Structure 1
């Protein structure tokens, strides 16, 4: 791969996916995209770049972006965001949304489904407390390939052993040959949709809780600030955002700010600055219609 080809591909990926590759990622780009060349019978990177310049083949364009997407995930990853859901966010929602009996959750980088299915299991474990509630769990990802895997809800032995307590595996999964499939009732709880976070997403409607974890680390500061600003616009005034363990809003945007009472949670920056303590969490909010 020549330096000119590398610079074109780096710019192409930044524009299409937000991925900010540094100059030393030359080898990573080669190793991820050479299989794409072989798959589409291209002679090499010059041929690949030519196809992308001409926008000749949408399948090649999607394959290039998806090849560079990191889909590392596992059930109950980093545990703390799920403890916060169980111990803080869900109890607050049950109290404050009792009149509406509606809760909307968005997993903004769902990958192969372990994160939204972890939340679905926690909601199922809540049982009678959510009887009569309308709970919407929307899960999006840039990669259509991993979304198809997520919809199937089928995982190998290694995947179900990563973070998934054995009692939940036995309760919510059935063995299919050498793999494990999550229960149909839980698959039905999750609405998987393709979405590029660089594109508008106001059509998703307003959410009470947003999980946007381990994706902002691949963006530059300007892109991070833009995505966080637009997430804040889709967040109920008293809603909460959870980011990855290595991610923060500090020094990036003031549209969201850390919840000083709960490490790892972020809420509307303006509300916290104005004295969020004066307003109890999860007050009922007027919502935009979901189209």
Structure 2
């Protein structure tokens, strides 16, 4: 069992280093996620694990704690609506506003094991008329090295490819390798996988046309959400888009974004777009 003192320490540690907010009744969750780490690092109890984190908050053990407590649930074409709006609203408008030489830049800010960016890549392959000859660049980030390595490999088991992935896309964009399914190389083109903590500064990211940051803000408190949204807005094109999860909103969290009319979970920067967007994006 974890003591009240140690639980309070883990709550503060996780909020500081990952933004995760644990309520006072999540002892069972903390214990179930961290017990395997006690065995892995040969620690006798939670008190010793807490002491280890106090001594070195940037250790391998600390990273393992953060990754163990971070939910990495993902599936192909999750919730469907974001991919429909991506096809019917976002891509047509951005394609019309950009010169052919301007790349389309998409940031998946909680890429997890890669199902979201690969679903977007498949959507683009299925709708070539919406991007023409322009280059598409994906930045896929996550807090966890482990899930990013899996995402970059593009390898999924039978259970994972059965979750949301249409059979015709499985046959078209994957190949069977032993008992796994591997994404075809063409879908990896233009993808960069990078570790990034949303609590830290966004250094050297550039500007994005579309940012997917779904089902992440729900784990943060209001001030942290506001700070993250303000910083995402700074790297979003003035006529770009932000996509949040269905249970998330920007309401009451500053003025960085405003809702896209009649589209729940979709937002645009709360600034006027320049008169000549083509000139602005051509210089990126």
**1:127 Cα offset (Å):** 2.9
User: Are 1:207 and 2:201 matched, yes or no?
Assistant: no
Tell which deviates more after alignment, 121-130 or 224-233. Answer: 121-130
Distance verdict in 2 for CA 1:287–1:94, change over 3 Å: closer
Question: Which residue in 1 is equivalent to 2:280?
Answer: 286
The equivalent residue for 1:195 is 196
Q: The residue matched to 2:197 in structure 1 has which SS? A: coil
Contact kept in structure 1, 2:248 and 2:265, CA below 8 Å: no
Deviations along 1:242-261, whole A, 9 cap, x unmatched? Answer: 00010000112211110115
Whether the aligned pair in 2 keeps the contact of 1:254 and 1:270 (CA below 8 Å) is no
**Superposition RMSD in Å:** 2.0
Q: Does the aligned pair in 2 maintain the 1:104–1:135 contact within 8 Å?
A: yes
1:92 — aligned with what? Answer: 93
Shift in Å at residue 189 of structure 1?
3.0
What pairs up with 1:267-286 in 2 under 5 angstroms? 267-271=268-272, 283-284=277-278, 286=280
Which ranges in structure 1 are unaligned for 5 or more consecutive residues? Answer: none
Q: Distance in 2 between matches of 1:204 and 1:50?
A: 35
Q: Deviations over 1:208-262 (max 9, x none)?
A: 1000000111111111111011001111111100000100001122111101153
Output the CA distance in 2 between the equivalents of 1:224 and 1:56. 23
Point out 4+ residue stretches in structure 1 off by more than 4 angstroms: 287-290
* Mapping for residues 46-85 of structure 1, pairs under 5 Å: 46-55=47-56, 58-85=59-86
* Consecutive unaligned residues in structure 2, runs of 5 or more: none
Answer whether contact 2:143 2:195 (CA < 8 A) is retained.
yes
Residue of structure 1 equivalent to 2:27: 26
Contact map agreement 1:237 1:285 (CA 8 A) in 2: no
**Whole-Å Cα distance in 1 between the matches of residues 263 and 7 of structure 2?**
43
Which deviates more, 179-188 or 110-119?
A: 179-188
Structure 1 equivalent of residue 238 of structure 2: 237
SS of structure 1 residue aligned to 2:91: helix
TM-score, L = length of structure 2? 0.94
**1:123-162, CA deviations, whole angstroms, 9 ceiling, x for partnerless residues?**
2222365453121111100000000111111111111111
- In structure 2, do the counterparts of structure 1 residues 157 and 205 end up closer, same or farther at CA, with 3 Å as the change threshold? same
Structure-to-structure mapping, 1:73-222, within 5 angstroms: 73-127=74-128, 130-222=131-223
Question: Deviations along 1:151-186, whole A, 9 cap, x unmatched?
Answer: 111111111111111111110000112211110111
8 Å Cα contact 2:174/2:184 also seen in 1? yes
Q: TM-score by structure 1 length?
A: 0.92
Q: Measure, in 1, the Cα distance between the counterparts of 2:263 and 2:57.
A: 49
* 1:99/1:288 CA distance change after superposition, 3 Å: closer
**Does the 8 Å CA contact 1:138/1:193 hold for their aligned counterparts?**
yes
Aligned to 1:6: 7
Number of residue equivalences: 283
Q: 1:77 to 1:285 in 2, by over 3 A?
A: farther
**2 CA distance for matches of 1:199 and 1:210?**
17
